[in-house]
Structure 1
């Protein structure tokens, strides 16, 4: 039996959406196994037969108590501007085709973005920048991503995260990062036949990616490469990893990351992946 994912709350304030509650793209149902501890996450990730099964299992994971408590609290209390909206309040799975040639790896869902909408980088300003850039270079159907089911789709591109739950103050712990790693490891293994480029958004995701690549069977570079914007690392076998500043407000408001800089990274990714 599936454990209760909600929290007792007044009828006027619904809690996190249970699997199969009508959210567009929700692949989980009452039969989806739940990882209630780190060891279970490793087993369930490794045994996922395809990206659909993986996404379903990610979306009901409960392996990190602090993150479970926070994401569900946010889904109940809500931000005033979204008070009339139901919140997803669960881990946010990846978005994009299973045969992607480009994988984008971010840090974690935003408390009132992906944790609200149920889709990664959707409904927040970081997502506004990301999807606008993907659209400009021909990798996204729409320039905006406001809600699951809004018609957005990605061309040969899949978006994932190092940590799948919204963390307090956008800062997951290293333990939470490591607990979540098996989901990324399995995803990297499943998309390997088609994958040509990984774009990594920010230093946290950069640090999380390298051990995940190794566990997924990819050969790494001969020495550690520090994170930097537009740093490109060619791996044995031909795949390329590209670093990119995260499209956070801290970076976009200050000009550290511009539209041109973001478009240059994704343009390079599309060219290297031969998505024309």
Structure 2
């Protein structure tokens, strides 16, 4: 295979500030996200991975671009992770798809009736989410799975606008891991949600209710991240994950679906 053909092409590259605010629908926002080139280190890494690839995927064309959120525009439940995995979402183009973390997450979503299938292999595999949207504070795969604070802050307008567009229906946010928790709280505060002071601490099973001036209510639920470090060691078990997702599902008014 000619490796030059697997390099990502990002026509009309954009920056988060301005581009995010200008999106009037989630479809517009998602399209703009895929053209972001704001962080040179992340751009270089995601494109390098897309060319060098992992041996198991050497015959595949990598996505190699920023990854938009996944799920319906009228979702009442959102899941917030960390960032795309280099050989997962950076390869497939869909959040938590094509890696071990995704295997655990989508299995649990299916088990509680929030996904149409128990596994997610590619962006065109037909899997659907019911009333649920998956997103992240950082949209490009970072080296060693560690974005810098500056990269997180540069990327934050995408998440802020996504939550604004979801606001009419959004009732619950499950935050996967402490990084997502710390990244999300300032975004919610800037969007008008009343975040308690001192800021609530992350923990598995953490439960925080937020309100806003318009009388809206939003429940934040903390859950250990579905990383292999947590799932392989038993820090996060399938039962623990299903329990959080079930509470989120029921609070969001979704009930068992499918």
TM-score bracket relative to the smaller structure: over 0.9
* 1:171-211 residue CA offsets vs partner (Å, 9 max, x unmatched): 00000000000000001100000000000000110000011
Alignment map for 1:16-31 (pairs within 5 Å): 16-18=7-9
Q: Distance in 2 between matches of 1:250 and 1:14?
A: 34
Deviation at 1:125, TM superposition (A): 0.3
* 1:149-168 residue CA offsets vs partner (Å, 9 max, x unmatched): 10100000000011000000
Deviation at 1:215, TM superposition (A): 1.9
Deviation at 1:230, TM superposition (A): 1.1
Distance 1:273 1:53, change over 3 A: same
* 1:26-81 residue CA offsets vs partner (Å, 9 max, x unmatched): xxxx5xx532xxxx311111111110000001011000000000000000000000
Residue 140 (1) aligns with residue 140 (2): no
- The runs of 5 or more residues in structure 2 that have no matched partner are none
DSSP-derived class of the 1:163 partner: coil
Q: Distance in 2 between matches of 1:97 and 1:178?
A: 25
Deviation at 1:239, TM superposition (A): 1.1
Match of 2:237 among 242, 249, 258: 258
Q: Which residue of 2 aligns with 1:110?
A: 85
Q: Which residue of 1 aligns with 2:72?
A: 97
Cα root mean square deviation, aligned: 1.2
Q: Distance in 1 between matches of 2:202 and 2:176?
A: 10
Q: Which residue of 1 aligns with 2:225?
A: 246
Match of 1:275 among 243, 246, 254: 254
Alignment map for 1:26-45 (pairs within 5 Å): 33-35=12-14, 40-45=15-20
- The runs of 5 or more residues in structure 1 that have no matched partner are 1-9, 20-29
Q: Distance in 1 between matches of 2:155 and 2:28?
A: 16
* More contact order relative to length (CA 8 Å, sep ≥ 6): 2
DSSP-derived class of the 1:56 partner: helix
Q: Which residue of 2 aligns with 1:50?
A: 25
Deviation at 1:238, TM superposition (A): 2.1
Deviation at 1:217, TM superposition (A): 2.2
Q: Which residue of 2 aligns with 1:27?
A: none
Residue 212 (1) aligns with residue 187 (2): yes
TM-score (norm. length: structure 2): 0.94
- Structure 1 stretches of at least 4 aligned residues deviating more than 4 Å after TM superposition: none
* 1:137-159 residue CA offsets vs partner (Å, 9 max, x unmatched): 00000000000110100000000
Q: Distance in 2 between matches of 1:14 and 1:247?
A: 33
Q: Distance in 2 between matches of 1:203 and 1:226?
A: 9
User: How many pairs were matched up?
Assistant: 251
